[in-house]
Amino acid sequence: MDDTVAVALLRHGLTEANKSHAYLGWTDSPLCPEHRDKLAAAPQDYRRIFASDLGRCMKTAAILFPDHSIEPCPEWREMHFGEWDGRTYQELKDTPAYQKWLEDPFSGVVPGGESFSAFTARVDKGWQNLTDQLLRKDMRDAAVITHGGVIRYLLGKYAPEKKEFWEWQVPFGRGYELRWTREEFRRGERCTSLQEAPLTGNPDG
């Protein structure tokens, strides 16, 4: 097993803005108390813990990994929704720019925010930093507490099974663990093993 590398991609807990189905990018929203109380300490085997530097991820990370130092990284932030951040579909549906963006969100640009290509380039930079650190320091595992869009993008790129961006289901407070051989990880290949990593003590309770 010494030849394997494991990276867990974990989504932050449900926030008040998420409950209202608002676009939530770089602005923040507090964790819902009822969901926060279901989060419990995750397996503490991961030696490096990275997180988006936004509050909802840092707070989730502190609950999941109370005995670890958390390394905040802006590269792990959700897509920047600019003028639409914090607003819902109902609020935006009659806006021409929003209607145009919905037709092709992977090519359009959010006013005052990021394009999908800028978002993925930023996430790729964060992933390369994680890769370099694990390989340079001869470490075998890490966890990243981040956002739904980040996880969907990385699963599309590194999961064994190819799926479209929106086909990946990433519930709040849950995630996936990806495993490679060390050489596969070094070469940036798709992982050889993917499993769900539930993080709530009683997600249905």
The pLDDT of residue 201: 46
Classified as helix, coil or strand, 66 is coil
The reply to whether 141 falls in a domain is yes
Domain range for residue 160?
A: 4-196
| CATH code at position 85 | 3.40.50.1240
Contact residues for 19 (Cβ-Cβ < 8 A; gap 6+): 32
Instruction: pLDDT band for 25, please (50, 70, 90 cuts).
Output: very high
| Overall pTM > 0.75 | yes
The pLDDT of residue 205: 33
The pLDDT of residue 64: 93
With tokens 């963006």, the residue in question is 101
Mean pLDDT, rounded, for 99-122: 94
Task: Say whether pLDDT at 42 is over 70.
Answer: yes
The pLDDT of residue 41: 77
The pLDDT of residue 190: 98
Q: Decide if 170 contacts 153 (C-beta within 8 A).
A: no
pLDDT in tens, 170-202: 999 999 999 999 999 999 999 999 999 855 444
The reply to whether 201 falls in a domain is no
Classified as helix, coil or strand, 48 is strand
The reply to whether 75 falls in a domain is yes
Torsion of CA 45, 190, 26, 95, to 10 degrees: -150
pLDDT in tens, 45-67: 898 999 999 999 999 999 999 98
Mean pLDDT, rounded, for 152-176: 95
Our count of domains for the chain comes to 1
The reply to whether 203 falls in a domain is no
Taking the alpha carbons of 138, 140, 146, 148 in that order, is the dihedral positive or negative? positive
The reply to whether 58 falls in a domain is yes
Q: How many helices (H) and strands (E) are present in the chain, helices listed first?
A: 8, 6
Bridge partner residues of 146 (DSSP): 11
Task: Say whether pLDDT at 203 is over 90.
Answer: no
The reply to whether 121 falls in a domain is yes
